[in-house]
Structure 1
Amino acid sequence: MPLRAAKRARSVIVRLLQIRKLLDWLARQRLYVVHYVLRFYVANHIVAGLPGYRIRHAYYRHICRIPLGPGSSIHMNAFITGINIAIGAHSTIGRRTYLDGRAGLAIGDCVSISPDVQIITAQHDMDDPDFADVLAPVVIEDYVWIGTRAMILPGVRIGRGAVVAAGAVVTRDVPPLAVVAGVPARRIRERKPGMRYQCDWFEPFD
């Protein structure tokens, strides 16, 4: 069994290297749109559903070129758009999370993002006759905890140690150590300081 598993792992690595060669060739041919679409199409529709985090993380780091810090994990079926994403160390991204990097998304160290969270950096101006795009980066500082099915809207900064309750819709900045909940999210209490944990959560088949 160990030998068979090792052969399968080598086969997957070979395929990933072949994909990277193809993507690099497309980039050299100045087919940037094709290169971008193909890179993230494969990430979101094939790689994201693969069990075993090592394969996914290798693809995100080396093919999508997303900085993913040591001890950090992106769980299965995350959906990623845009290349302007950086994730610090010892952070975890839950299943089915949507990470929108079109305007820039920075996630700090020791951040816990629960399943089904949506982090959005682009929207439309509903009063513009041309329905213009409005882009604004999102910053999530160290030790932030975001509950399941919360939504973070463009331009928001969530301060160090803050907590976003499950189902909250965050439309404006959250101060450090604040606990926010509701739609739109409002402060309901303060969190105690002094966090020192790490979110090194790796499942063998997730």
Structure 2
Amino acid sequence: MIDPSAFVHPKAHVEGAALGPRTRVWQFATVIRGASIGADCNIAPGAMIDGSTIGDRCVVCQNFGAGPGFLIGNDVFLGPNVVMSNDFFPAASKDGFDAARYRAGEWAIIVEGGAAIGANAVILPGIRIGRGAMVGAGAVASRDVPPDTLLARDGRLMPITAAMRSRRMRFVEPRC
């Protein structure tokens, strides 16, 4: 069901999905096959959400790709070109791949509330990203990321400190 207050751009494709109140789906985004998007979310152009569940107040940036099997909590940021994988051994043949298991509540990937995944990150199947954790831009998450921990592009895990969070929007002052 699409809530009456949700916005779907005329050039977006939403079919067989649920959209919560005030959620916006922009042009060329696709939300299909049982996907469920919570309230107050923003789904950017080019995003593809096929059968996954996304909580409230999430930001899904352009060209995000997610097939069936992903559970995304509330207040999650999914950066541009983030890719989530639900198959350890992908193949053109669908023999042995059972998306119905994901629809029944077996999740390929879980991203807990308040997490952020940076641009061009890849999340492999079986991974849990903890509450308030961050996956850095360009990183490959091949292991769980504990709550309030940063997975850096080089694979290091480090606690997220208040000082790190305060560096948001760091710009270099122009020189005149």
State the TM bucket, normalised to the shorter chain. 0.5 to 0.7
Gaps of 5+ in 1: 1-8, 24-38, 40-51, 126-130, 196-206
What's the C-alpha RMSD, in Å, of the aligned pairs? 3.5
2:25 corresponds to 1:53:
yes
Q: State the match for 1:94 in structure 2.
A: 61
Gaps of 5+ in 2: 1-6, 18-23, 100-106, 166-176
Q: CA deviation at 1:173?
A: 0.7
Counterparts of 1:130-149 in structure 2 under 5 Å?
Answer: 137-149=108-120
Deviations 1:132-154 (A, max 9, x none): 76996100000001110011000
Instruction: Report the structure, 1 or 2, having the larger helix content.
Output: 1
TM-score, structure 2 normalization = 0.65
User: Amino acid of the residue matched to residue 143 of structure 2?
Assistant: R
Task: Provide the aligned length of Structure 1 versus Structure 2.
Answer: 137
Distance 1:182 1:70, change over 3 A: same
Distance in 2 separating the partners of 1:191 and 1:178: 9
Q: CA deviation at 1:65?
A: 3.2
User: Amino acid of the residue matched to residue 78 of structure 2?
Assistant: I
Counterparts of 1:97-108 in structure 2 under 5 Å?
Answer: 97-101=64-68, 104-108=69-73
* Higher-Rg member (1/2): 1
Q: State the match for 2:75 in structure 1.
A: 110
Counterparts of 1:145-160 in structure 2 under 5 Å?
Answer: 145-160=116-131
Task: Report percent identity of matched pairs.
Answer: 29
TM-score, structure 1 normalization = 0.56
Distance in 1 separating the partners of 2:145 and 2:67: 19
Q: Which runs of 4+ in 1 moved over 3 A?
A: 54-57, 131-136
Deviations 1:124-173 (A, max 9, x none): 18xxxxx9769961000000011100110000000000011100000011
Higher relative contact order, structure no. (Cα contacts within 8 Å, ≥ 6 residues apart): 1
Assess if the C-alpha contact under 8 Å between 2:122 and 2:141 holds in 1: yes
Instruction: Report the structure, 1 or 2, having the larger strand content.
Output: 2
